[in-house]
């Protein structure tokens, strides 16, 4: 038994419930959660924007301590401090080629399926299966049954050091990975980041502190977030409605999912420039662009989870955080797990960039 935050129907608040966990399979791990981040993907499911089987347990930025491992698990052992991230099949061409974030089975394994790959559930309430296995973890719970491939061992850290690292499981590796793995800014280049939420600010820190880019421009509608972006390394900031705000980028990152913003970013690319799309608009959304403007080497690329290999990218970002180059604690706020609905409301309103739930 453990306690989990259950969403019974879309649009409802989270409800803390006693639930039953399945036993770990040979390739699974049981983790006692210390903390978990709250991401807008969690909120989009809770509000019915992103499909997921409900009632269910969400959460996909967990950190905790391994309690039990399956018979075939080699990546971790009981007692390890671990970060939980997305899962992947490990067998498709992209997984074998070092790109598990582009797994051919990413959506059913992480988002839409709500079950293990074989259709079984990891969580039940009074004997009834719940939607679960969210990003291989469902970490809005005091304990989780987790895919081995979702586990990154953090090394010899105290439990008190874990909560600040939780967002590396999704949002922050997404923004940073878009810069470091996909765009790879060149010396002297200009990077424009649209949206100063957690993902955008991760891109800002990576571009300003971990790349040779000369200019990092951040565009947002909220003045306080623009000020935060400057403290994190942006060389200039622009209010979103400013004329020409999105022009002149060698590299651009959209984290807003706003079709109009995307179109303006693409239109404003310098010759040879690349625009990375991270933000997800509603299903079926379409954007338009001038094909002839792309011919001089301008390009558009979609990015999932920073195209990262977590066992490589997460320790890189954790080390950058430890030396002060990735100060993600700047925009975090902690909440007791019991206050999950307050955290969700603050995240939805934009009052808090990154809520962290503490167990």
Look at 14 and 241; give whichever has higher pLDDT: 14
Torsion region of 190: left, alpha or beta (phi above 0 gives left; psi -120 to 50 gives alpha)? beta
The 10s digit of each residue's pLDDT in 244-300 is: 667 789 999 999 999 999 999 999 999 999 999 999 888 788 999 999 999 999 999
**Predicted local distance difference test score (pLDDT) of residue 157:** 85
For the stretch 154-201, pLDDT in tens is: 988 889 899 999 999 999 999 999 999 999 999 999 999 999 999 999
| Alpha helical stretches, state H, 142-188 | 171-177
At the second CATH level, the architecture of 2-169+327-358 is Alpha-Beta Complex (3.90)
Task: Tell me which architecture the domain covering 175-304 has in CATH.
Answer: 3-Layer(aba) Sandwich (3.40)
Q: Compute the average pLDDT of residues 202-214.
A: 97
In the sheet that holds 190-194, the strands lie side by side as: 236-239, 215-220, 190-194, 249-254, 269-277, 299-302
Size (the chain), residues: 359
Non-local (6+) Cβ contacts of 141 within 8 A are 2, 3, 4, 5, 19, 33, 57, 59, 123
Judged against a pLDDT cut of 80, whether residue 150 lies above it is answered with: yes
Confidence at residue 240, expressed as pLDDT on a 0 to 100 scale:
78
How many other C-beta atoms lie within 10 A of the C-beta of residue 210?
18
Q: Beta strands 62-69 and 81-84: pairing type? A: antiparallel
Mean residue pLDDT across the chain: 94
pLDDT at position 245 is: 60
Domain assignments of the chain as residue spans, ordered by start: 2-169+327-358, 175-304
pLDDT at 196: 95
Tell me the pLDDT band of 48, cut-offs 50, 70 and 90: confident
What is the full DSSP assignment across 305-322? Answer: GGG--HHHHHHHHHHHHH
């Amino acid at each position: 038994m453990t306690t989990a935050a259950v969403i019974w129907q879309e649009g409802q608040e989270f409800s803390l419930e006693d639930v039953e966990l399945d036993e770990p399979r040979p390739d699974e791990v049981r983790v006692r959660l210390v903390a978990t981040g709250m991401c807008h993907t969690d909120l989009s499911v809770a509000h019915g924007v992103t499909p997921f089987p409900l009632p269910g347990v969400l959460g996909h930025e967990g950190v905790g301590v391994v309690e039990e491992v399956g018979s075939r698990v080699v990546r971790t052992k009981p007692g390890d401090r671990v970060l939980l991230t997305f899962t992947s099949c490990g067998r498709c061409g992209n997984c074998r080629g070092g790109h598990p974030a582009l797994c051919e089975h990413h959506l059913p394994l992480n988002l839409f399926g709500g079950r293990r790959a074989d259709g079984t559930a990891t969580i039940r309430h009074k004997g009834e299966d719940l939607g679960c296995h969210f990003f291989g973890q469902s970490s809005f719970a005091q304990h989780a049954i987790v895919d081995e491939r979702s586990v990154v061992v953090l090394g010899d850290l105290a439990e008190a050091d874990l909560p600040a690292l939780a967002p590396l499981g999704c949002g922050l590796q997404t923004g940073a990975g878009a810069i470091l793995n996909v765009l790879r800014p060149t010396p002297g280049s200009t990077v424009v980041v649209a949206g100063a939420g957690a993902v955008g600010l991760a891109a800002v820190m990576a571009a300003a502190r971990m790349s040779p880019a000369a200019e990092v421009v951040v565009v947002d509608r909220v003045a306080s977030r623009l000020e935060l972006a400057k403290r994190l390394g942006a060389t200039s900031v622009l209010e979103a409605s400013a004329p020409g705000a999105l022009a002149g980028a060698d590299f651009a990152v959209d984290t807003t999912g706003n079709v109009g913003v995307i179109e303006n970013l693409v239109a404003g690319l310098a010759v040879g420039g690349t625009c990375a799309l991270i933000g997800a608009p509603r299903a079926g959304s379409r954007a338009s662009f001038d094909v002839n403007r792309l011919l001089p080497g301008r390009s558009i690329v979609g990015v999932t989870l920073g195209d990262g290999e977590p066992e490589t990218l997460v320790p890189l970002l954790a080390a950058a955080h430890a030396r002060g180059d990735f100060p993600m604690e700047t925009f975090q706020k902690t909440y007791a797990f019991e206050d999950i609905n307050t955290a969700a409301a603050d995240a939805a309103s934009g009052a808090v960039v990154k809520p962290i739930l503490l167990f």
